[in-house]
Structure 1
Amino acid sequence: MTLDEKLTLSNKALALKEAGDNVGYERLMNTLPMPPYLVKIAKEKIGLDFVLNSGWNLSEAEAVFGSDWLSK
């Protein structure tokens, strides 16, 4: 996902939040890829189950760490 795409989605999400649609805001924000370093920290500090059940977009972490990074 390009930076422009991320910014466009973030702006749409903020518009939803300002309109009072917190559920829509959270749903749209979860489509943005979580930065790999944050996913790694969450896995180490909070646990694998939390990361798997978070609903986060983990595509960038998989691209950086490999497709089997969660099972390591």
Structure 2
Amino acid sequence: MAETFSVECPTCKKPVVWSPESAYRPFCSKRCQLIDLGEWAAEEKAIPCETADFAESSEFSEDWVK
């Protein structure tokens, strides 16, 4: 018998069984998946990085886009 593994939905915290039948894993639904995507798109979420503010640093030059 295969052991079932479940995770918490990152958005609503409901348990999600980790299997091919859970199409939106780690999310419980398309709705939760889209809420999370919207938070990333609105820059409410971000991965911390030392170079995240490179555009504001003195090293940034708009010449590179030409």
Q: Same fold (TM over 0.5)?
A: no
* Larger helix share, 1 or 2: 1
More strand as a share of residues: 2
TM value normalised by structure 2: 0.25
| Structure with the greater alpha carbon radius of gyration | 2
